[in-house]
Amino acid sequence: MRSLTVRLLAITLSLPLAVLSPAAAQNTLPWLSTSGMNVVDASGRTVLLRGFNAGGTYLMETWMSALDSASPPPGFPPVIDECSLWKVMRLRFGLALTQQLQQTWRNAWFNPSDVSILASMGVNVVRIGFFYQLVQSDANPKQLLPSGLSSLDNLINACAGYGMYVILDLHGAPGGQSPSESTGQTGLNQLFSSTAYQQQTIQLWSLLANYYRDRPEVAGYNLLNEPFGAPDSASLINLHARIYQAIRAVDPNHIIFMEDGYKGFSAFPNPSTMGWTNIVYSFHVYFANATSPAPHLNYIYHVMPRLKQQQTIINTPIWVGEFSTMNDAQGGIPMMSLYFNAFNQYGWSWTPWTFKKVDRVNGFQSIWGLYTNSLPWNQANPYTDSYSTLQTKFAQYNTANLQVQTDYQSAVMAAVATSP
């Protein structure tokens, strides 16, 4: 059960939020950089980046989307990830109508109104994950796609208007950086075995860095989400180094965020020995099979102190890019509050997964989404629903049709109200 303390927080902190307007918010954000184990602004003040992931916007994950896709008819692939969903749409409706469906999905899933909600909560960053094909085509990888850039710019501009930073997260890289659905290409896992895919990824980041080089509201570039397809730490460090060099050739200023791919500090060389500057290291914290709070408590009270010692040695900031307690059995919102407080105490930035999660029946049975549904969802069937029906159902992903988990919201607001 969720604790009385958190329920009282829900009463006191989850009063109707004031609606902010971009015009009333800070429009020019200071550049961020790193200094020792801290992220700092242009005046040298420590900045803890604390906010949310906008997961599912530019890379659909079936478990978050409540699609009715269990029974593909003959001639259609099963919808198991980003690529297969839009492949089915192209087979049924052609490219132009598929692109319209994609735009409806993206506009509904996370938009400037959602940025306003987060700004009203006091958070200062949004991690925007994207599938590489949003901005880069396989047919012409040397140029960025204007449509994808326009979509990203819309959110980045909204965040800037509300005084919030953006971390650009390559959630699905060319070839796939793991076999996970979260890459957008389930089971592919060829990035680390393919020179061509690696070069395409390096080129993508070079192009993006050149495009965003003068945008301080972009806190930085999260090179690869959960790259656990790397066979070892050396392979991951090697690719990170090559991407780093390509970015620095065009953009000397932005922070570069590097993840460990669940390999631990062996994937985190001392930046000074690599000749790297403005580096933040990142890891994700999940215990998918846990049936009690024990693994989380062990992590907070026993693992984190050891990680802090290792961080001190390499003198580099830490950002916990994803984490969740998933459900009440694992400790629920009170355990999330423990994480928030521990990360704050250690001076680590954090962004839980995720802002929104849609469930087939009742999303309040989990801790995944700040916003979710309390009643059975009107599921979209990618195989049988008409184009107009899919447009309607995709539009229903708008946050206005969901409910906030008030105790979760209150816990976040309490955590971000503390000074770094």
pLDDT of residue 193: 98
Give the tens place of pLDDT for each residue, 335-344: 999 999 999 9
268-271: list long-range contacts, CB under 8 Å, 24+ apart.
Answer: 268/310, 268/314, 268/316, 269/237, 269/314, 270/313, 270/314, 270/315, 270/316, 271/314, 271/316
Tell me the C-alpha distance between 345 and 351, whole Å.
15
Contact 242, 204 (CB under 8 A): no
Give the tens place of pLDDT for each residue, 86-115: 999 999 999 999 999 999 999 999 999 999
Domains with residue ranges and CATH for the chain? 4-416 (3.20.20.80)
In sequence order, the 6+-apart residues with CB closer than 8 A to the CB of 80 are 62, 181, 186
pLDDT of residue 17: 53
172 phi and psi angles, rounded to 5 deg: -135, 105
The mean per-residue pLDDT over the stretch 146-166 comes to: 98
- Judge whether residue 59 has pLDDT over 70: yes
Tell me the C-alpha distance between 365 and 376, whole Å.
12
The beta strand positions in 189-338, using DSSP E, are 218-222, 255-259, 279-285, 318-323
- Judge whether residue 21 has pLDDT over 70: no
On the 0-12 / 13-18 / 19+ scale of CB atoms within 10 A, 36 is exposed
pLDDT cut 70: percent of the chain above it: 94
pLDDT band (50, 70, 90) for residue 420: confident
Can you count the helices (H) and strands (E) in the chain? 14, 12
Give the tens place of pLDDT for each residue, 321-330: 999 999 999 9
pLDDT band (50, 70, 90) for residue 26: very low
* Pairing assessment for the beta strands 51-53 and 165-172 based on DSSP bridges: unpaired
pLDDT of residue 28: 85
pLDDT of residue 10: 35
pLDDT of residue 13: 38
Give the tens place of pLDDT for each residue, 251-283: 999 999 999 999 999 999 999 999 999 999 999
Unique residue bearing structure tokens 């192009």: 207
Mean pLDDT taken over the chain: 94
Tell me the C-alpha distance between 144 and 207, whole Å.
7
The mean per-residue pLDDT over the stretch 39-51 comes to: 98
pLDDT of residue 20: 52
pLDDT of residue 27: 57
The mean per-residue pLDDT over the stretch 18-38 comes to: 72
- Judge whether residue 7 has pLDDT over 50: no
Among 7-16, 86-95, 141-150, name the one with the lowest average pLDDT: 7-16
Choose between 5 and 190: higher pLDDT: 190
pLDDT cut 90: percent of the chain above it: 92
Unique residue bearing structure tokens 């969740």: 324
